[in-house]
């Protein structure tokens, strides 16, 4: 039953249409493959959000000052538009995204046409480079005291948000992740 529902849902999704109309071999377009894709999408969309909410909830409840400041900022605010404008709530979510890591896998990138420079090294075009969100989010050069839950770091230095890798699945990136978490706050 579950497999049938997922398969039917996938057949009407744009990503499934792309798979079905692609050059992939027919065994890659099977119901089994579509079902596996659906499970991945469901897992990526729910497991990572649930984990991030768990990380945020733990840290907010474990730090009375953070809880107090968050409650004070949110008092009387209930609509999504209002919540989206709250700087401390946004900082708490960013810090939660930073410490929840998402899927800890190497996020591969390739510069197809131009060499990349890393310090004194030139990386030729077409060379895959990668790192995990864990390495970046716990880098003390980027985030001092990286194991401490400190939302104020994003208020004091808003440019830190560019270093957040919201999830390896990156269905919508940080903007989508923050929006989902703010909707959960209302």
Greater pLDDT, 65 or 28: 65
Which pLDDT score, from 0 to 100, does residue 68 have? 97
Which pLDDT score, from 0 to 100, does residue 173 have? 45
In the chain, how many domains are there? 1
The CATH number given to whatever domain includes residue 42 is 1.10.630.10
Does this model's pTM top 0.75? no
Residue 4 to residue 121: CA distance in whole angstroms: 51
- Let me know: does 92 contact 60? Beta carbons within 8 Å: yes
Greater pLDDT, 108 or 122: 122
Strand partners, 117: 122
Dihedral of CA atoms 145, 148, 152, 158 in degrees, nearest 10, equals 60
Q: How confident is the model at residue 63 (pLDDT cuts 50, 70, 90)?
A: very high
Which pLDDT score, from 0 to 100, does residue 177 have? 52
Which pLDDT score, from 0 to 100, does residue 56 have? 96
Q: Has residue 186 got a pLDDT over 60? A: no
pLDDT digits (tens, 9 = 90+) for 66-112: 999 999 999 999 889 999 999 999 999 999 999 998 766 676 778 88
Residue closest to 6 by CA, chosen among 38, 28, 33: 38
Which pLDDT score, from 0 to 100, does residue 184 have? 55
Q: Domain containing 97: what range?
A: 2-185
| Residue 66 half-sphere exposure toward CB, CA atoms < 13 A | 21
Which pLDDT score, from 0 to 100, does residue 17 have? 65
pLDDT digits (tens, 9 = 90+) for 12-21: 555 556 777 7
Residue 59 to residue 55: CA distance in whole angstroms: 6
Greater pLDDT, 116 or 34: 116
Helix (H, G, I), strand (E, B) or coil at 148: coil
Which pLDDT score, from 0 to 100, does residue 14 have? 55
pLDDT digits (tens, 9 = 90+) for 132-170: 888 889 999 999 999 999 999 999 999 999 988 875 434
């Amino acid at each position: 039953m579950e497999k049938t529902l997922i398969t039917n849902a996938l057949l009407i999704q744009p990503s499934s249409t792309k798979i079905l109309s692609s050059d992939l071999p027919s065994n890659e377009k099977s119901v089994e493959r579509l079902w596996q894709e659906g499970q991945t999408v469901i897992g990526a969309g729910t497991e990572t959000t649930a984990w991030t909410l768990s990380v945020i909830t733990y840290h907010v409840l474990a730090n009375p000052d953070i809880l107090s400041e968050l409650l004070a900022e949110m008092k009387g605010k209930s609509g999504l538009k209002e919540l989206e404008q709250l700087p401390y709530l946004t900082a708490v979510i960013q810090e939660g995204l930073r410490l929840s890591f998402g899927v800890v896998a190497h996020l591969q990138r390739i510069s197809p046409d131009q060499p990349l420079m890393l310090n004194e090294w030139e990386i030729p075009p077409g060379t895959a480079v990668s790192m995990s969100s864990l390495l970046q989010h716990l880098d003390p050069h980027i985030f001092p005291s990286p194991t401490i839950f400190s939302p104020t770091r994003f208020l004091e230095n808003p440019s830190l948000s560019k270093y957040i890798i919201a999830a390896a699945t990156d269905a919508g990136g940080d903007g989508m992740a923050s929006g989902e978490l703010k909707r959960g706050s209302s």
